[in-house]
Structure 1
Amino acid sequence: MSSPELADRVLAIVARIPRGQVMTYGEVGAEAGCGPRQVGRIMRECGSEVAWWRVVRADGSSALAERARPHWLADGLPMRGERVDLRSLGPESPE
């Protein structure tokens, strides 16, 4: 898969994440057929086109937590300190 195709695929997956939910970089990568680091690169380069704050690390944190926090709160995401509480979101999110 070429890089533009992969970027389109990752961005389409992220665009489908509903308000009040998140996916980890690994979950997005598994669905897109790539690794979490590739997802991170794509999000860094093109993520402003989608709700970037709905993609988090496996522990619910984000390198952009300060910028993401208002979006997380507006989305009604459960928080644990400066992280999204993935356990509170149910079985579709990892522990």
Structure 2
Amino acid sequence: ARPLYTGFVTVLAPNDELCFQGNQEREGDVTPSSRHQGGVHVLMCDGAVKFITDSIEAGNSNSAQVREGGGFLTPGSKSPFGVWGALGTRAAREVINTEF
């Protein structure tokens, strides 16, 4: 289940750089990427396919992530990664009131 091949996080905007810990492909911030100019197609949980542009509001990429442990934002906190980060949350139950 290497994230480079099986998943992504909503910390960095689509088509942004891939950031790995050390020289491993197991742990890191992997954003979706595509050869489509200007964005990526994303399959939503309701079956809809959305084109997400590279310019989606992605908040502060230098912020700590929301998770358990020291140096992180408390679980349940609002995503510091903007609309893009809110799309990737589940436990915080963020509601997006805008079309993206």
The one of the two structures with greater contact order (alpha-carbon pairs below 8 A, sep at least 6) is 1
Of structures 1 and 2, the larger Rg is shown by 2
The TM-score with structure 1 as length reference comes to 0.26
Q: Which has the higher strand share?
A: 2
Q: Which has the higher helix share?
A: 1
